[in-house]
Structure 1
């Protein structure tokens, strides 16, 4: 679906929410919705069950929660505003550093 600026962030040891976060951009609301639809179809086809999905009506930001994998698909302006890469990126402290 030609998602843009796709980033994968390893969350293992940083949170119990998921092991991996994938962040991508779509050029428009329609593109964001199309990317999300394709990901949901592929997950179902590969046996990952029913993921929880939020944000489909507006398609500014769609979150697909498949348990161990979180997928965020944004319009570029919304992605820049929330800046999840900075929040969850490599410089975020791990649980071990927080405890010590």
Structure 2
């Protein structure tokens, strides 16, 4: 799981993703083990990152169980089963504050 998370974080960083945060939520929810949050520079950037990330997952043989929010691109969720990636524009990320919702989750990235 650690290697997969690191690969995704490095990939998002290479695509100009901002303020990348990865959290171990396995003790808080049964939906996934890791949540990754990233801010895109625009809605179009969010859409492109999410679309390309889905391809990246498939190239690694990782499942893509669903993608939500591509239409507006302000908040795109990519469900990879054990890892869920949220790609936000800044305003939407601030409004929904998932970091606050998962405040008890240990941070995997950036390293503590």
TM-score range relative to shorter protein = 0.7 to 0.9
Unpaired stretches in structure 2, ≥5 consecutive residues = 1-14, 107-112
Aligned structure 1 segments of 4 or more residues deviating by more than 3 angstroms: none
Within the alignment, does 1:8 sit opposite 2:8 as a pair? no
Residue 85 (structure 1) aligns with: 99
Distance 1:78 1:41 in 2: 24
Residue 27 (structure 1) aligns with: 41
Distance 2:105 2:35 in 1: 15
Residue 39 (structure 1) aligns with: 53
Residue 65 (structure 1) aligns with: 79
Larger radius of gyration: 1
Aligned CA RMSD, in angstroms, stands at 1.4
Distance 1:32 1:49 in 2: 20
Unpaired stretches in structure 1, ≥5 consecutive residues = 93-100
1:90 is displaced (CA, Å) by 2.8
Instruction: State the TM-score, normalizing by the size of structure 2.
Output: 0.77
Distance 2:19 2:64 in 1: 26
Instruction: State the TM-score, normalizing by the size of structure 1.
Output: 0.86
Q: How many residues align?
A: 92
